[in-house]
Amino acid sequence: MRNALGLLLASVVSAAVIAGVWFWTSSPHAELSSAPATVKAAQAERLPASAKSADDVDVTAAISGKPAAPSPAMAVAAQPAGAPCANPDALGVSRVVEVDTTGGPGFGFEHFKQLDFLADKEVVLTFDDGPWPGNTPAVLKALADQCTKAVFFPIGKHATYHPEILKQVLAAGHTVGSHTWSHANLNGKKITGQQAKDEIEKGFSAVKMALGTAPAPFFRFPELQHGPASVTYLGSRNVAIFSCDLDSFDYKRNNTPEKEIQTVMGGLDKLGKGIILMHDFQKHTATALPELLRRLKAGGYKIVQMKPKGTLETLAEYDDMVLKDGKVPVTSARPVTSVVQTVSQ
């Protein structure tokens, strides 16, 4: 009787395993397997859970740090940058500008008024605080559907949590700069020059580690808090500083996707052009973006993509620091199935 019960249990377990395997391979997750090789490689390089530190930044504290399962949108968004546009009515990119970042030029009329390079109706899309599961892939999909490009300013810590998502941002042809290591206010009363430097440099090193290549020398201060010493430092590192012309205020608690679209379109009606600040970290932006891009197209706005002339050379000591924070050295990028295989059951 005990044996019979055991046999029955074993059958139930086997059936459950088979059903699980079937569900996985036949569900949308399986679309990842047909994604470009870059996506698959990125999945294998995900940092261990130990990379998440207890002293997390405010923006991440309220949200589970557990990486979400890959979504079909991630595979779509990771189409090669040079792929032809399938949407004949796409917003597209009207022109690409190359920025010589020597001396740390500033952009965005909220703080920097010297470099007025946008013509009437021209818009630059920028996204801060990612990469983040769900929201960043949704933003990438909306941009890909409209065959348009943006500048991303990821948080260093988030880049270490979700390097595979940040790799997709780059693979889709967007420009990737940095937004500090932990979203610290670099204009705070208590922050020292050394701490500000650490935030800037460690942020860039984390982005570099996640991307596997050097980031753009493009930087945005958290909360647009431009610490004077940090501005000078970034100038010495030849990093361009991005403020904005138009804030979407997508991070405000009482915001909705509809309000966000109204804020951006209303602001553009007044300004006629500008660098728009949004957050790929924010759900509202992920939801609002498809409609916002359609409205931009209908309103006759044109997208300008900003690219750097060169890349940022990160500092070795900060690269080491980011690696050590990951606790486990990255010695192998092989997927688990190529390392551990069941040979007998």
Binding site for Zn ion (CB under 5 A): 128-129, 222
- Give the shortest CB-153-to-Zn ion separation in angstroms: 7
Which residue's CB atom is positioned nearest to Zn ion?
Answer: 128
* C-alpha distance from residue 72 to each of 5, 29, 69, 79, 257 (Å): 41, 6, 10, 12, 22
Using the structure block, give the residue that is written with the tokens 């509202």. 284
CB 302, CB 122: distance < 8 Å:
yes
Task: Pick the closer one to Zn ion by CB: 129 or 245.
Answer: 129
98 pairs with which residues across the strands? 307
Euclidean distance between CA atoms 112 and 105, whole angstroms: 9
Task: Pick the closer one to Zn ion by CB: 128 or 201.
Answer: 128
CB 214, CB 177: distance < 8 Å:
no
- Give the shortest CB-337-to-Zn ion separation in angstroms: 37
Using the structure block, give the residue that is written with the tokens 């890349």. 311
- Give the shortest CB-161-to-Zn ion separation in angstroms: 15
Euclidean distance between CA atoms 200 and 277, whole angstroms: 20
Report H helices in the chain: 2-26, 37-44, 58-61, 72-77, 135-145, 156-161, 163-171, 193-211, 228-236, 257-271, 283-298, 316-325, 336-339
Helix (H, G, I), strand (E, B) or coil at 40: helix
Catalytic residues, by residue number, are 128, 279
Task: Pick the closer one to Zn ion by CB: 242 or 301.
Answer: 242
Task: Pick the closer one to Zn ion by CB: 134 or 272.
Answer: 134
- Give the shortest CB-19-to-Zn ion separation in angstroms: 43
- Give the shortest CB-228-to-Zn ion separation in angstroms: 19
Task: Pick the closer one to Zn ion by CB: 233 or 281.
Answer: 281
